[in-house]
Amino acid sequence: MRTVNRKRITQIVLVSLFLAGVFSPAVSAETTPENSAVVFDPHMLSNMFVEISELAGPSVVTITSQSTVLTRVPSFPDFSHPYMVDPWEDYYQMPRDQEYTMTGIGSGVIVSSDGMILTNNHVICEADKLEVVLQSGDRYPAEIIGTDPETDLAVIRIDAFDLPAIAIGDSDSLKVGQWILAVGSPFALSQTVTQGIISYIGRSDVGLAEYEDYIQTDAAINPGNSGGALVDLDGRLVGINTAIVTRTGGYQGVGFAIPVNVAVGVMEDLVTYGYVRRGWLGVTIQELTPGFAEHFGLDSRHGGVLVSQVLIDTPAGVYGIQRGDIILTIDGETFRTITEFRNMIANVDPGNEIEIGIFREGRNLSILVVLGERAADETIVSSVSSISDDFGWTLEELDRETAEALGDPFLRGVLVVDVNQSGRAISVGIYPGDVIIEVDGFEVASPEELNRLISSTDDVLLLILRQGHSVYFMM
């Protein structure tokens, strides 16, 4: 069993606190650099947290919500009748509607002295009535200014003035390991302060919202903390606490906050336009897997996304992006995942010009594109899985009637009629109803053409039309 060197741990803690500015070496007339004494006052660390709490606490509010829910409940016979059941009534009666009032609780952060409050969308989204409780105990009804489910953010307002608005920090300057405090109302316990560190920056693909770029923290966050403040050691807002990962329903050391820079941008759009304006390129994209990267002659470790379709009348089509292009950079910045790429495009204001670095047919190109504005349903991401052995599919030539049913009477390709559940096609992600339109860049119009092209190579790149969108697959 390993033993703990207490003296060494103490030295590490003292050095860490010194670097954080909690204390400094004391050098007097009697001391020299060789024998200078380190003076540590633990009260300084405690007082620092007290000051942060006193500074940020008044800006954090408790939000209570009430919503009316209509539900169907069964009706039971009336056994109070002397014959147990009223003979003039049906024994079994139809279910009836009944209203229930549901109450929720969350947190919010005052961001302007005239009553503007940032919170999570899921705290207020279905509320019929909202009430905000200040640290002083004063209560105010609140109105919804705007919501953005895609980031899980919302802005509400109360009719009050001279409120203690929080100072806004810069989430782009945060570092992993940095001390932070979380303030909110977990389990309806208002003005609760917890302390921890930043565990990770840029956490995505969590499955909580459409656009994810979370600050991960180990500061205790529990139900009711949603919408509350994550603050730095200067008491500045750096994040909006949003969710936790838990198997018990309570704190287990993994919490997520939306970066304040994202939250402020969303808030400004909601206040100004009533919705969030996001940049839009107009492409269907998919992950650049190692198989795709090898096929195109790239190193997948460098990141990038594969363009499987360029939508009609979009910025991508107008400025020359093509199907099969691999997007590597945006304004010179690289990205490693589809989520990062989507966030980078969405964060650009519509109408602004960006430089997109692409890889096409063995060459690196640079294309300038003026982004459009994205509607709620205009981002399409496709994915594929791994491969196995036999193809295991049944193919037919696409007839005109089926092409018309798919919306394009002039469409040419090969229709996948059936797939074997243990075959190679299903393992790759090909399903009945898919239309194979290209093999390694060559158009195909019959099963014979397709089989000839597939048999001539080991690794085949298929372009498939599915539900109106084209997707690449490796076979």
Task: Tell which residue, 257, 268, 64, 232, has the closest CA to residue 148.
Answer: 268
pLDDT at 384 over 50: no
Task: Tell which residue, 215, 346, 202, has the closest CA to residue 269.
Answer: 346
pLDDT at 381 over 90: no
Which sequence spans correspond to the domains of the chain? 6-40, 48-276, 279-382, 393-474
Region 353-371 average pLDDT: 95
Q: Which of 107, 122, 382, 427 is catalytic?
A: 122
Q: Which of 47-51, 184-188, 406-410 has the lowest mean pLDDT?
A: 406-410
pLDDT at 88 over 90: no
**What pLDDT sits at residue 28?**
42
The reply to whether 300 belongs to the active site is no
Q: Which of 47-51, 124-128, 209-213, 447-451 has the lowest mean pLDDT?
A: 447-451
pLDDT at 147 over 90: yes
pLDDT at 372 over 70: yes
| Predicted structure pTM score | 0.71
**What pLDDT sits at residue 298?**
87
The reply to whether 295 belongs to the active site is no
pLDDT tens-place string over residues 16-72:
444 444 444 444 444 445 555 556 677 888 888 999 999 999 999 999 998 876 666
- Return the HEC string of 442-459: EECCCHHHHHHHHHCCCC
Q: What is the CATH number of domain 393-474?
A: 2.30.42.10
Q: At 382, is the pLDDT very low, low, confident or very high (cuts 50, 70, 90)?
A: low
Region 195-200 average pLDDT: 95
Q: Which of 53, 59, 148, 152 is catalytic?
A: 152
Same-fold call for 48-276 versus 393-474 = no
**What pLDDT sits at residue 257?**
97
Q: What is the CATH number of domain 279-382?
A: 2.30.42.10
pLDDT at 270 over 90: yes
First CA to last CA distance, the chain: 51
The reply to whether 122 belongs to the active site is yes
Reported as type and span, the H/E element at residue 122 is: helix 121-124
Q: Which of 107, 190, 204, 226 is catalytic?
A: 226
Region 189-209 average pLDDT: 91
pLDDT at 475 over 90: no
pLDDT at 390 over 80: no
Please check whether the domain covering 48-276 is classified as CATH 2.40.10.120. Answer: yes
Average pLDDT score over the chain: 82
Q: Which of 36-50, 87-101, 321-335 has the lowest mean pLDDT?
A: 87-101
Strands 129-133 and 116-120: unpaired
Kindly state the percentage of the chain with pLDDT values over 70.
81
Sign, CA dihedral 451-394-441-409, equals: positive
pLDDT tens-place string over residues 284-302:
888 888 888 888 888 777 7
- CA 286/CA 283 separation, integer angstroms: 10
**What pLDDT sits at residue 27?**
41
Q: At 336, is the pLDDT very low, low, confident or very high (cuts 50, 70, 90)?
A: confident
- CA 439/CA 442 separation, integer angstroms: 5
**What pLDDT sits at residue 14?**
44
**What pLDDT sits at residue 388?**
37
Region 128-155 average pLDDT: 95
Region 63-82 average pLDDT: 68
**What pLDDT sits at residue 87?**
52
3-state secondary structure of 45: helix
Among 96-100, 272-276, 391-395, 442-446, the range of highest mean pLDDT: 272-276
